[in-house]
């Protein structure tokens, strides 16, 4: 019998926007992301090695199916680290050959690297007939991110990419990994505005923030910040106080946002997003003047709620806007922006990683 050519299969993993719950994940707190209708697509056949090329990148990846050997540079670092993490979980060394394409803008705070990791991991598991629990796959991809670029991130981005549901945000407790889908109110759209200011958490203050937070938590005897109130922070002062206070109040804002979404309480959503942005600006010190300006412009144009989203130090804001005003608000924010060329995207909350 003639051998049949290996079938071409296509896998998609979305980027994410975090509605609220910023820098809460790596201390076991609450986050509320939505997967986006922007993502990374991997179109491959099963093969002996992992051989991938990508639109927009000249560098190709050509590595062993278990990720072993010399580490590639550039985007290939993520691929190799994912393959190595999955090999450590017992995935048989089946390779993939084909292409990678992305609609997630890199460095915009929308988790382009997590989408790449999750898309590659989903493909590698599928061709090897390995079925991992979604959050086990997400954790492997989180570990790959840290292995590839040394960023001590939490599980937010990768979890959002696997758990996403159309028209829902995902409430995830990063401590217990319990999660539930929270419907987004009909009539509200997600507006993501990219400041154009680029950041890479390899070199941003991301790791410093985590260290400063943990110094504060160590002084308090390592409590779970999601169970603290601001009144519990009397033993702290200065930077550790501000870092812990952000995380404590941000966890509370995630709970309150879920309640406000369920009740369609727009005034409360506006106040919570505003409070989150101010806490990131003043206590966690991760916003930029460009992000502060975009948030002000969004509220001035009539957004229900707006705040910086993602790791910070550049990237995007997320706003909740009424459907019938969405286009107008998007253009007013972009036109009013004085600190560069912003790009507005009206997005839909989408399904998580899957074969397409």
Number of H helices, E strands in the chain: 9, 13
Catalytic residues: 157
Q: Residue of minimal CB distance from ligand GLA?
A: 311
Cα–Cα distance, 73 to 64 (Å, whole number): 15
Give the phi and the psi of residue 183 in degrees, each rounded to 5: -65, 140
Which residues, in sequence order, are CB contacts of 278 under 8 Å at separation 6+? Answer: none
Closest CA to 20 of 212, 169, 220: 169
Which lies closer to ligand GLA via its Cβ, residue 156 or residue 226?
A: 156
| Selected binder of ligand GLA within 105, 310, 314, 352 (CB under 6 A) | 310
| Selected binder of ligand GLA within 72, 95, 105, 311 (CB under 6 A) | 311
H or E, element range at 290: helix 289-300
Cα–Cα distance, 194 to 200 (Å, whole number): 15
Minimum distance, C-beta of residue 150 to ligand GLA, in the bound complex (Å): 12
**Binding of ligand GLA by 23 (CB under 6 A):** yes
Cα–Cα distance, 119 to 69 (Å, whole number): 22
Minimum distance, C-beta of residue 222 to ligand GLA, in the bound complex (Å): 19
**Binding of ligand GLA by 305 (CB under 6 A):** no
C-beta neighbour count of 55 within 10 angstroms: 9
Cα–Cα distance, 84 to 67 (Å, whole number): 5
**Binding of ligand GLA by 153 (CB under 6 A):** yes
**Binding of ligand GLA by 157 (CB under 6 A):** yes
**Binding of ligand GLA by 228 (CB under 6 A):** no
Strand ranges (E), 231-294: none
What is the secondary structure of 162-209 as a DSSP string?
A: HH--TTEEEEEETTT--EEEEEPPTTEEEEEEE-S----TTTSSHHHH
Which lies closer to ligand GLA via its Cβ, residue 49 or residue 253?
A: 253
Of 20-28, 87-95, 214-222, 276-284, which part binds ligand GLA (CB under 6 A)?
Answer: 20-28
Going by the DSSP 8-state scheme, the letter that residue 322 receives in this structure is E
Minimum distance, C-beta of residue 88 to ligand GLA, in the bound complex (Å): 21
Of 19-27, 75-83, 85-93, 184-192, which part binds ligand GLA (CB under 6 A)?
Answer: 19-27
**Binding of ligand GLA by 25 (CB under 6 A):** yes
Which lies closer to ligand GLA via its Cβ, residue 126 or residue 141?
A: 141
| Selected binder of ligand GLA within 13, 22, 83, 240 (CB under 6 A) | 22
Minimum distance, C-beta of residue 159 to ligand GLA, in the bound complex (Å): 9
Which lies closer to ligand GLA via its Cβ, residue 30 or residue 83?
A: 30
Minimum distance, C-beta of residue 286 to ligand GLA, in the bound complex (Å): 8
Which lies closer to ligand GLA via its Cβ, residue 279 or residue 332?
A: 279
Minimum distance, C-beta of residue 26 to ligand GLA, in the bound complex (Å): 6
**Binding of ligand GLA by 154 (CB under 6 A):** yes
Token representation of residue 272 = 């919570």
C-beta neighbour count of 227 within 10 angstroms: 12
Long-range contacts of 257-264 (CB under 8 A, 24+ apart): 257/19, 257/20, 257/32, 258/32, 258/171, 258/182, 261/169, 261/182, 261/183, 261/184, 261/185, 262/182, 262/183, 264/185
Minimum distance, C-beta of residue 253 to ligand GLA, in the bound complex (Å): 13
**Binding of ligand GLA by 283 (CB under 6 A):** no
Residues engaged in binding ligand GLA (CB under 6 A): 18, 22-23, 25-26, 153-154, 156-157, 310-311
């Amino acid at each position: 019998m003639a051998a049949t050519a290996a079938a071409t299969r296509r896998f998609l993993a979305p980027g994410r926007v975090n509605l609220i719950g910023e820098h809460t994940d790596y201390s076991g707190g609450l986050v509320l992301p939505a997967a986006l209708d922007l993502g990374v697509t991997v179109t491959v056949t099963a093969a002996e090695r992992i051989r991938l090329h990508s639109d927009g990148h000249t560098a190709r990846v050509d590595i062993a199916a278990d990720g072993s050997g010399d580490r590639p540079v550039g985007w290939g670092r993520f691929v190799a680290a994912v393959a190595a993490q999955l090999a450590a979980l017992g995935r048989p060394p089946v390779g993939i050959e084909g292409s990678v394409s992305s609609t997630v803008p890199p460095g915009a705070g929308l988790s382009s690297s997590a989408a790449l990791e999750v898309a590659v991991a989903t493909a590698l598991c599928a061709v090897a007939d390995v079925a991992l629990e979604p959050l086990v796959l997400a954790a492997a991809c989180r570990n790959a991110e840290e292995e590839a670029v040394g960023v001590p991130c939490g599980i937010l981005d990768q979890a959002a990419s696997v758990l996403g549901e159309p028209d829902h945000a995902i409430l995830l407790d990063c401590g217990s990994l319990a999660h539930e889908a929270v419907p987004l109110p009909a009539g509200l759209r997600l507006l993501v505005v990219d400041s154009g200011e680029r950041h890479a958490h390899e070199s941003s203050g991301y790791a410093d923030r985590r260290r400063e937070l943990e110094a504060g938590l160590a002084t308090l005897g390592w409590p779970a910040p999601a169970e603290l109130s601001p009144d519990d922070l009397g033993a702290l002062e200065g930077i550790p106080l501000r870092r812990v206070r952000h995380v404590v109040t941000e966890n509370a804002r995630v709970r309150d946002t879920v309640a406000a979404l369920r009740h369609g309480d727009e005034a409360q959503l506006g106040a919570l997003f505003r409070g989150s942005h101010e806490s990131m600006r003043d206590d966690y010190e991760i916003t930029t003047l460009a992000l502060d300006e975009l948030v002000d412009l969004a509220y001035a144009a009539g957004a229900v709620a707006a705040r910086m989203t993602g790791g910070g130090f550049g990237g995007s804001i997320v706003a909740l806007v009424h459907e019938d005003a969405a286009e107008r608000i998007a253009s007013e924010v972009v036109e009013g922006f004085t600190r560069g060329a912003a790009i507005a995207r009206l997005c839909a909350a989408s399904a998580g990683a899957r074969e397409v």
